[in-house]
A = this chain, B = another copy of it.
Amino acid sequence: MDMHDLTRELQQANDSKIVMIVADGLGGLPLQPDGKTELETARTPHLDRLAKLGVQGGSIPVKPGIAPGSGPGHLGLFGYDPLQYRIGRGALEATGIGFELQPGDVAIRCNFITIDDAGLITDRRAGRISTEAAAPVVASLRQIKIPDVEVFVEPVKEYRFVVVLRGKGLEGDVADTDPQQTGVPPLDPQATTSGSRRTAEVAKEFLRQAREILRTQAPANFHTMRGFAAKPNLPSFEEVYGLRAASIAVYPMYKGLAHLVGMKNIGRATDLSAQVDVLREAWKDFDFFFLHYKYTDSTGEDGAFDRKVARIEELDAMLPAIETLKPTVLIVTGDHSTPSFLRSHSWHPVPTLLVSDCCRPDLHDTFGERTCVTGGLGLFEAKYLMPLALANAGRLGKYGA
């Protein structure tokens, strides 16, 4: 029995509102052993005040020691066991550009490549062609027509683009056509299960037409296909939690991830202040709000300790505006840590704060990496955050009599 079996069985409706603020990559590290982390350094009067009212803990994104990408990081926060649910590479790439996959779609990561007259690969990344130079070449592939299949071709960045095949009887188990070396031809798409044979045939036909179209486009005179993946089969927030859920994100990747679990992407905010405006306007229409804040991650990736501190302070300053809406449950967390010391995602537990009238406050009056370990939520796997949110919102009945 997994947690979703439980939440399906125990969910009960009420008028509560849950707000989950995900400060991407929130957790950090000190620059010296006796130093403070970015969050501990930041002046965060509102988080500290909420820490007094709330309960904190350290969210382990996947398992101890495992640093997740954005996909598993968010799946965990959304209550989907990131080891049970995996988003295939192609589906994640499509999701990352905000493409809303439909059930039955197959998404494929494509690289432009350079081939010689004999059809042998001379460059697996087509000279790292620029995003601008690639754009018209990507667009030219949209003339490809395949009977009974709708074809989408979308640029990603530089030599990378995405193809999505939409039609009946398509599955995602097809091997990569990238041979991982130069001096050899690309491989033909090969189905690895009988259910994916038609996908392999469609991909082969796509490649045949692409070869014609791209012939004169060197260095981007052909492409490989990798990471074939069907839309992951994730049950929806509505079904597993009984929540009408909205996503308020700025960047396509997070909109895409929210869409995969059935959240509705609302608004067109491009900064935090506008995101809060969207939240306010949609307050009556949803039960759950996912609000994504990117800059705690990007500054961490840049190794910019001070800028990450400033971004945390910026988030802190926005909290009172959210509190005036009086959410039943207010959560501040992150999908993983991104310490500027490491300039990358990490495995460290993510400081997580939950405030409700029945949260059982702990003894802390500040919020940070060192306090969260001894907070009332202790160290916990991210996938348990949603059951805790539902319980604090009074949305879970008793298990067993």
Residues of A within 8 A of B (CB): 1, 3, 6, 10, 29-30, 33-34, 37, 52-53, 58, 62-73, 82-84, 86-87, 89, 92, 96, 339, 341-342, 344-349, 358, 360-363, 369-370, 373-380, 384, 386-392, 396-401
Contact = CB atoms under 8 A, between A and B. Distances in A.
11 contacts: A1-B84, A6-B66, A30-B361, A34-B361, A62-B399, A65-B388, A70-B401, A362-B370, A373-B376, A378-B378, A379-B380
A361 B33 contact: yes
Contacts of A86: 400
A378 B384 contact: no
A84 B1 CA distance: 8
Contacts of A401: 69-71, 89, 92, 96
A53 B375 CA distance: 22
A272 B84 CA distance: 44
A29 B396 contact: no
Nearest to A372: B376
Q: How many copies does the complex hold?
A: 2
A368 to B, nearest CB: 11
Chain A, interface SS category: loop
Among the interface residues A37, A374, A397, which one has the most CB atoms of the partner chain B within 10 A?
A: A374
A400 B87 CA distance: 8
A83 B375 contact: no
A221 to B, nearest CB: 28
A386 to B, nearest CB: 8
A400 to B, nearest CB: 4
A245 B347 CA distance: 23
B396 A66 contact: yes
Contacts of A376: 349, 369-370, 373
Contacts of A373: 362, 374-376, 378
Given A63-B384, A63-B387, A68 B33 contact: no
Contact of A71 (B341, B384, B400): B400
A378 B69 CA distance: 24
A66 B399 contact: yes
Contacts of A389: 65
A212 B47 CA distance: 69
Given A89-B401, A341-B358, 10 more contacts: A65-B390, A66-B387, A67-B397, A92-B400, A96-B401, A345-B398, A347-B388, A373-B378, A374-B374, A379-B380
